[in-house]
Structure formats: C-alpha cells, structure tokens
Amino acid sequence: MDMTTLSDLAPGEVGVVRRLDGGRGFASRLAALGFTPGARFTMVQNFGHGPLIVSIRGTRIALGRGEAAKVYVTRGSEVSHE
C-alpha cells in the first residue's frame, strides 16, 4: 500500500498512522495524543492550505500543515500492512 502524508488526505477519508517524523519531542507529543502506528483516523477538515482537523481515538486534533506533513499514513482502514 502506498505511504503518503497526513496533509494529503481529503476530508472524509480514513487512514491508518504508520510513522512519525520530525524528532523525538514532536513524535512523543503526537504519540501521547494517540497518533501511534496502527491507529485509525478520519480526516475531518482539510482545505489544502492552513491547518487541518483529524478525528483520532474519539478526539478531534487540530494540526498545523507543517506538522501534518511529518505524519506518514496509508489510506483506508486496513490496519495490517505489508
């Protein structure tokens, strides 16, 4: 399955988190909020510019565009991978 970044998903699309880039502090904060490999999410709002909103583990999280580009995901809700 093709890996892409979170910022590329359109509103309504579902996906699964695969990998976090962008350093320890960043990864640690996101992981605590539920962005761990294997976690399913739904893109709530993404206008192609500016920040976006993701629904994950029952919460809505707003992310800056730059931050979302460091979260690698796959499309669809299939958790097992490769």
Q: Which residues of this chain interact with another protein, rule CB under 8 A?
A: 20, 22, 24-34, 36-39, 44-45, 47, 49-51, 53, 57-64, 66-67
DSSP 7: G
Q: Looking at beta carbons only, is 2 or 25 nearer to another protein? A: 25
- d(Cα 70, Cα 62) in Å, to the nearest integer? 14
For residues 44 and 81, give the distance between their C-alpha atoms in angstroms, rounded to a whole number. 24
* Shortest CB 18 distance to another protein, Å: 10
**Six token digits for residue 82:** 């490769």
Q: CB nearer to another protein: give 2 or 58.
A: 58
